[in-house]
Amino acid sequence: MRNFFDWNVNNIDPSLWTCVIPAAGKGTRLGYEFPKILYPILGKTVLQHLINLFHEFCSSFVVVASPNGAQEIQKEFESCCQSTDFRIVIQAEPKGMAHAVWQARDSIETPNTVVVWGDQICLRDETISSTLAYHQSDTANVLTFPTVMKKNPYIHFHRDKTGKIIKVLQKRENEIKTEVGENDCGFFCFSTHSLFYLLKNSLSSPDTLGSQTKEINLLQLFPQFEMIDGQVNTLRIAHFEETLGINTVEEAKTAESILRIRN
């Protein structure tokens, strides 16, 4: 694990970064008829919050949308983010996050790629900037992401004695048996080449399939990043609220409270 605040965030070069946002999810559990990424939080859509978090560090954005949601997301981009370089690509079927990210492969020209889930608006600025700065500091870095130790984790990274990730366990796949685990924040920095090299060679592998959902999961690939040339880095943070996703009205209210306190 690395000390989180040792990296010079002023050296982040946006021209080296593209931000990919998987956003094919519906707002059904929120009682919302539009894509979840358009749900309003404190007067802004989730998409606006994410753009505000990452626009300083990324020169372009790629949003992965469902066929039914693409038009509404396009309208939102045009109304709120006209100065932002953005593209929308389509995920024809909801096959999982790895499959969603794969759809962006022809839209990325930068050497580094951020992937952030389409509801992670409680990330802190310092978490984002420190993670990008650390990843960019060495071209040998293939994957860098923040984690936090928390009770009742949604994700747990199982490691060997040397600290390498050997398996990624998920609550929704009924795989986590520990009370406390190492949870991600839905935010990851990749070498673009390494990301799509592994996706290309792994999308049809049973290793990427969730045991219960049968979705093609991105996090299931993380042990494979440990096996290729390059460095996998984990930065430990202390704020549990950064792991919050927004799937229910209760979680949306929690996110509003967190952001209101910060502002």
Tell me what pLDDT residue 25 has.
84
Print the SS3 string covering 54-105: HCCCCCEEEEEECCCCHHHHHHHHHHHCCCCCEEEEECCCCCCHHHHHHCCH
Nearest-5° angle of CA 157, CA 222, CA 191? 130
Query: Which pLDDT tens digits describe the chain residue by residue (263 residues)?
Result: 454 555 566 789 999 999 999 999 888 889 899 999 999 999 999 999 999 999 999 999 999 999 999 999 999 988 887 667 999 999 999 899 999 999 999 999 999 999 999 999 999 999 999 999 999 999 999 999 999 999 998 899 999 999 999 999 988 778 888 889 999 999 999 999 999 999 998 887 776 666 666 678 999 999 999 999 999 999 998 899 999 999 999 999 999 999 999 87
Q: Which amino acid, 205?
A: S
106 is written with which tokens? Answer: 């022809």
CA–CA dist 263, 261 (Å, integer) = 5
CB atoms inside a 10 Å sphere around CB 133: 20
C-alpha distances (whole Å) from 14 to each of 115, 121, 143, 236, 248 are: 15, 20, 17, 24, 33
CB atoms inside a 10 Å sphere around CB 132: 27
59-68 in b/e burial notation, b at 16+ Cβ within 10 A?
Answer: bbbbbbbbee
Which residues partner with 180 through β-bridges?
Answer: 151
71 is written with which tokens? Answer: 């038009």
CA–CA dist 114, 20 (Å, integer) = 6
Superfamily for domain range 9-262 = Spore Coat Polysaccharide Biosynthesis Protein SpsA; Chain A (3.90.550.10)
Expressed in angstroms, the distance from the first to the final Cα of the chain is 30
181 is written with which tokens? Answer: 């685990």
CA–CA dist 259, 139 (Å, integer) = 34
Tell me what pLDDT residue 199 has.
95
- Check if the beta carbon of residue 114 is closer than 8 Å to that of residue 132: yes
CA–CA dist 182, 120 (Å, integer) = 17
Domain boundaries, the chain: 9-262
CB atoms inside a 10 Å sphere around CB 116: 22
What is the number of H-type helices and E-type strands within the chain? 7, 12
Ordered alpha helix ranges (H), the chain: 46-54, 70-80, 97-102, 125-136, 192-202, 222-225, 249-262
Q: Which amino acid, 23?
A: A
